[in-house]
Amino acid sequence: MVATLRSRCVFLGAPGAGKGTQAKKVAEGARLAHISTGDMLRAQVAAGTALGLEAKGYMDAGKLVPDQLIIAMVKARIAEPDAAHAWILDGFPRTLAQAEALDKSLSGASALSHVIAFAVPEAVLVGRLSGRRTCGSCGAIWHIESNPTRVAGVCDACGGALVHRSDDRPEAITKRLEVYRSQTAPLLAYYRDRGLLREVDANRPPEVVFQELLQRMR
């Protein structure tokens, strides 16, 4: 049993660092709202909304969706009742402009309490991303080598068909890692300067990383 955590935190790390999987697990175990901008955007794309159509073009090319679109979506999400006290932001902010906008929109009791940085060598990230398969029905994440389903292409959890997301294909992976290095990595210094950064070695088994996160988020 995991105690309820009252953190308002950002999970920061390159694509494939394990942020999404850990954010989901920590949020469920410690009763925080899991705010995944990737999941929110994919839901908009699936629903065919105007925002979804605009975002899809950027995502398919491995590019970042423009700041103003994401910021408005995140602010609306944090204002919902289940996110009143504690949340994990997963996939946002990804640029200095987004981080500054987030700081402006949060204050006092709702200000950020932690930023967790997931450290993983780049060669490991490429292997993780290229083998990743996502369930098109329930969103479960699998890996063709390290976490395969019993039947190839079929989700163990719900029987749904697995998809190789367009942004997990080789050309998009290379682009995503470049974008991370140039636009997101500078956030490490930004949050270190503000005394919020806590770095976690995420090149270890998921259960070990999970236990460390629970300690570091107190």
In the DSSP assignment, the letter for residue 8 is E
Q: Which two tokens stand for residue 87?
A: 């949340």
Number of residues that bind Zn ion (CB under 5 A): 8
Does residue 162 bind Zn ion (CB under 5 A)?
A: no
Catalytic residue status for 169:
no
Does residue 161 bind Zn ion (CB under 5 A)?
A: no
Span of 27-35, 40-48, 112-120, 153-161 interacting with Zn ion by CB under 5 A: 153-161
Q: Is the dihedral of CA 23, 29, 30, 36 positive or negative?
A: positive
Catalytic residue status for 6:
no
Q: Which two tokens stand for residue 127?
A: 């292997």
Closest alpha carbon to 37 in 2, 75, 3? 75
Which residue is catalytic, options 8, 19, 24, 128? 19
Does residue 135 bind Zn ion (CB under 5 A)?
A: yes
Q: Which residues contact 178 (CB under 8 A, 6 or more apart)?
A: none
**Interior CA angle at 14 toward 211 and 110, to 5°?**
65
- Name the residue nearer to Zn ion (CB basis): 85 or 160: 160
- Name the residue nearer to Zn ion (CB basis): 25 or 176: 25
- Positions touching Zn ion (CB under 5 A) are 135, 137-138, 140, 155, 157-158, 160
Catalytic site positions: 19, 94, 132, 165, 176
